[in-house]
Amino acid sequence: MPTIQKMDKRVIIVEDEDNVRETLELLLSNAGYTVKSSATGTDIFNKITEFNPDIILLDVLLGDLDGRDICREIKANPHTQNTPVIMLSGVPDVYNAISDVGANDVVSKPFDEITLLNRIERQLSNSKIQL
């Protein structure tokens, strides 16, 4: 499998738990990604338009909104439907999020850093092939 050039790859993280969001920011920044994060799903489409992410990491249970609803909206919008979304959650039925809302992948929390990075790279490889 070819390695994705991480330089210039942009990731939006939507995670309401500060410690998890900060860990993800550090992990992805150290791995060479450009990261924008938010504790809220409010105005996600403005954030997507401004930042133009290559992939979105989206928590299922946010304080203000349900990440599954946000994922449905992302996948229903013609401008964002091809952007890979990886759902993150500690909820046991998180795996249903893929078929129920169109997420490209799901990672349960607590997550293994190497597994998460591999899943991100796989999604970026898949989206590049589709283009």
Give me the CATH number covering residue 49: 3.40.50.2300
The pLDDT value recorded for residue 36 is: 97
pLDDT band at 7 (very low <50, low <70, confident <90, very high): low
Expressed as residue numbers, the domain containing 54 is 10-130
Indicate the number of domains in the chain: 1
Q: Per 3-state DSSP, what percentage of the chain is helix, strand, and coil (rounded to 5)?
A: 45, 20, 35
**Averaged confidence pLDDT in the chain:** 89
Is the pLDDT at 1 greater than 50, yes or no? no
Average pLDDT over residues 94-109: 82
Is the pLDDT at 75 greater than 80, yes or no? yes
> Which amino acid, one-letter code, is at 94?
V
Residues 6+ apart with CB under 8 A from 124: 4, 9, 54, 55, 84
Q: Does pTM surpass 0.85?
A: yes
